[in-house]
Amino acid sequence: MSHSISIVFHSGYGHTRRIAQAVAESGDARLHELDAEGVLAAPDWEALQAADAIVLGSPTYMGNVSWQFKRFMDTSSSVWMHQRWKNKLAAGFTNSAGINGDKLATLGALFTFSQQHGMLWVGTGMMPANAKASTRDDVNYLASFSGLMAATPADASPEEVAVGDLQTARAFGERIRQTLQRFK
């Protein structure tokens, strides 16, 4: 029996979308992008309901999820009411301009959301690249345990998302895929 992973995300300018695509590559996941108004199409809601794992992704805006992602979170209250996502796996990622940029607050919001839904949170399970010899091209250079972090300079295009962050995103997708295997 194969398990399915759905990634629901918002991206205002395309940077978080690149991260989402990299997570999807190795996680063999389906992508569900919120539109500019934070609306998710009905078939995407159905896909989330059918998924075994839901990965949550938002850029960090003003130290939190974007308002579009918050709209999605609030809209999910009807799902919450019946605990329809209970015991699905959950994981989260965010991208922002600063190396820090208060990204942990965004991951915290995603984590809390997952717990309201009774989901099972999966962290990165990755050691940090924090030695003197470490570079921006290394996996988990941003040294995040609780969720995937990426940093894209404010003046960089989506094509310039750091190679190391894309590799980290692929490793994160693989981690979620492998974690699901334990439920077989």
Residue 13 sits in the site that holds ligand FMN (CB under 6 A)? yes
Dihedrals phi, psi of 60, to nearest 5 degrees: -90, 115
Q: How far is the CB of 22 from ligand FMN (least distance, A)?
A: 13
Among 21, 26, 76, 152, binds ligand FMN (CB under 6 A): 152
Q: How far is the CB of 21 from ligand FMN (least distance, A)?
A: 12
Q: How far is the CB of 83 from ligand FMN (least distance, A)?
A: 30
Closest by CA position to 113, among listed 71, 52, 169, 148:
71
For the chain, the three-class secondary structure string (H helix, E strand, C coil) is CCCCEEEEECCCCCHHHHHHHHHHHHHCCEEEECCCCCCCCHHHHHHHHHCCEEEEEEEEECCEECHHHHHHHHHCHHHHHCCCCCCCEEEEEEEECCCCCCHHHHHHHHHHHHHHCCCEECCCCCCCCCCCCCCCCCCCCCCCCCCEEEECCCCCCHHHCCHHHHHHHHHHHHHHHHHHHCCC
Nearer to ligand FMN, 25 or 52 (CB): 25
Nearer to ligand FMN, 59 or 92 (CB): 59
The window from 53-61, 121-129, 137-145, 167-175 that contacts ligand FMN (CB under 6 A) reads 53-61
Q: How far is the CB of 80 from ligand FMN (least distance, A)?
A: 26
Nearer to ligand FMN, 98 or 125 (CB): 98
Among 6, 21, 26, 60, binds ligand FMN (CB under 6 A): 60
Which residues in 73-132 contact ligand FMN (CB under 6 A)? 95-98, 101-102
Residues found near ligand FMN in the complex (CB under 6 A) = 11-16, 59-63, 95-98, 101-102, 152, 154
